[in-house]
Amino acid sequence: MATFAVATTYSPSSVSPLKARRFGFDFGSFLSSTTKLKCPSITTTTTLPVATHPTVSVNPSSNSNSNHLVLPSNESSERLLRVRHTCAHVMAMAVQKLYPDAKVTIGPWIENGFYYDFDMEPLTDKDLKRIKKEMDRIIGRNLPLLREEVSRDEAHKRISALNEPYKLEILESIKEDAITIYHIGDEWWDLCAGPHVESTGNINKKAVELESIAGAYWRGDERKPMLQRIYGTAWENEEQLKAYLHFKEEAKRRDHRRIGQDLDLFSIQDDAGGGLVFWHPKGALVRHIIEDFWKNIHLKCGYDLLYTPHVAKADLWKISGHLDFYKENMYDQMDIEDEPYQLRPMNCPYHILVYKNKLHSYRDFPIRVAELGTVYRYELSGSLHGLFRVRGFTQDDAHIFCLEDQIKDEIRGVLDLTEQILLQFGFDKYEVNLSTRPEKAVGDDDIWEKATSALEDALDGKGWSYQIDDGGGAFYGPKIDIKIEDALGRKWQCSTIQVDFNLPQRFDITYVDSNTEKRRPIMIHRAVLGSLERFFGVLIEHYAGDFPLWLSPIQARVLPVTDAQLEYCNSVANKLKMYGIRVEVCHGERLPKLIRNAEKQKIPLMAVVGSKEVETETVTVRSRFGGELGTMSVDDFINRIKLASENPRSL
């Protein structure tokens, strides 16, 4: 059960040496033409498939398609779901055989396998081996899974006899009159609605592995007991398990927390508090590049940039509804001159206040405003996770105020802009979901139909495949959510487009129509990257720290063979800096070590300088992925770097 919003799928094949080289620096691609930005449509057309089943390399050293495997998911394979659910029961039975005092709670299947929570003494990795061995015995006995339907009173009687207080609490929360129990043979049973395999023998014990132990509060409430959660993974066969374990190793290698420390990109300091990110010089430089690109493309696409305060009077959040519906995620109020103020959890009300600052005519629309706005949200310490789940983060927030008949064109413009931005960062596979009206909603049926139809028409016009999440919209309007797929095939929720009928009403914003009557505009919320912190974490893992040249904090490192060439190296670096190239000079070690250090720091280019290069006023260039690229003039080196940086999609 992940503590951050990511649906995990697996595609280690996409990190083969051939694929990885695409992320590096290849002078052979320099001759391709530079793609120019254009709004609202773009010059390239890309079909964006909905990511379905990932491809996994069974043999990581091979690029042969015959070694690639499509891993099933719980959604694509009911048999796998049944296996995983049954494994949770088998694990609970094994735990209670080995540790009779353990109390059981809940044990569902999850994305990669299953888990079960127990109230018991802390476990160790050695305990996991004992539990797995006992699970293997139970599986080998081929015990049947038997479903029994009992009355509520009978269920209460049986649970009480076993002295299982958590199960009694679960029983009380079950609203259906029919209570179902699943037995493993005649030795163990659990409250459960199913489904399960017919017998434990249907599980391949060689395709099951216990992975880890974690603490988890009962019902996710920090005021309740801390439980022991055991995570496991289960697959249909050994080949699938092998592919999954390879994926895990690759994901571990790419972990943004480790890479962030190794490359000195960011840190989270205990002295300052959990979930608060410190951007170090190199990480801050990457953020600066991202922000500059984001601002420039928004200005080209007709947005006005805003900067708004980090705090506001608490009454603002009362009007917006956040104090009623979002209070548990907001920090405590602070008293300023006997008036309560609040750290902002959202940027939306601020943008509305800017809109309300003057009267608007129908001729003013559409009005597009955008801000890289930092917000603060309370998260439990146990849910914090590197850059993926933090307490303070910066959103690439934008809001569009428009007329009803402009919704479709504005949504299409946002989709075009989203595609442009995501392609720039190397993401070209998306899963798109359209969420429609829920049971409880604000706004008239007519405007809901118009807005939903406009979203559908924009997606259809874009030619994107999408799935309908019927009733999954927010209470204030329908929305489009876009998940990007990274190099491992994992999907990350980043982009969202939401139509809002609620806040315009709450803040009573209006415009004057052609009949000089006051009308209410439509408000569209949209974010492309989402949280900059989280997106940076995704980028680190997507590229395994090997950023493309345009994003790399240090693009080139100049290395002297001896200190006798140091003066020339500094002059080369100064010339590169004049052209905006991010470069540094390193010396004081033997050349092989200087090269190794540059490769460990994932520097895309090295310019080696010896006595011959000084005489001819040249550099010998080495690429991190391309190896030796030959000797060239400094001007030629500069021109090639600039061309590659301006055309990042060619890398």
Catalytic residue numbers, as ranges: 348, 377, 395, 397, 399, 479, 525
Strand partners, 622: 606, 628
- Reduced to 3 states (helix: H, G, I; strand: E, B; else coil), residue 632 is strand
- The CA-based diameter of the chain, rounded to the nearest angstrom, is 94
State the number of CA atoms in the 13 A half-sphere of 352 facing the CB.
25
Q: Which of 529, 535, 527, 532 is nearest to 398 (CA)?
A: 527
Which structure tokens are listed for 226? 């801390």
Burial class (CB in 10 A: 0-12, 13-18, 19+), 368: buried
Q: Which of 111, 255, 124, 227 is nearest to 169 (CA)?
A: 227
State the number of CA atoms in the 13 A half-sphere of 195 facing the CB.
10
Enter the DSSP assignment of 338.
T
Q: How far apart are CA 288 and CA 479, in angstroms?
A: 30
Cα 576 off chain centre by: 35
Cα 537 off chain centre by: 8
Residue 599's identity, in one-letter code, is: E
Q: How far apart are CA 237 and CA 205, in angstroms?
A: 9
Place of tokens 């310019």: 607
Backbone φ and ψ of 555, nearest 5°: -85, -35
- Reduced to 3 states (helix: H, G, I; strand: E, B; else coil), residue 557 is strand
- Reduced to 3 states (helix: H, G, I; strand: E, B; else coil), residue 312 is strand
Q: Which of 137, 98, 138, 136 is nearest to 120 (CA)?
A: 98
Strand partners, 531: 395
**Torsion, CA 102, CA 108, CA 114, CA 116, rounded to 10:** -10
| Spatial contact of 105 and 219, defined as CB atoms under 8 Å apart | no
Q: How far apart are CA 415 and CA 423, in angstroms?
A: 12
- Reduced to 3 states (helix: H, G, I; strand: E, B; else coil), residue 630 is strand
| Spatial contact of 307 and 371, defined as CB atoms under 8 Å apart | yes
Beta strands in 74-168 (DSSP E): 103-104, 113-119, 145-150
What distances in angstroms separate CA 569 from CA 114, 565, 596, one per listed residue?
Answer: 57, 6, 18
Stretch (H or E) spanning 286:
helix 281-300
| Spatial contact of 590 and 559, defined as CB atoms under 8 Å apart | no
* Beta strand 556-560 pairing with 605-609: parallel
Place of tokens 């490359």: 263
Backbone φ and ψ of 401, nearest 5°: -105, 125
- Reduced to 3 states (helix: H, G, I; strand: E, B; else coil), residue 29 is helix
Q: How far apart are CA 491 and CA 41, in angstroms?
A: 25
* Beta strand 392-402 pairing with 367-376: antiparallel
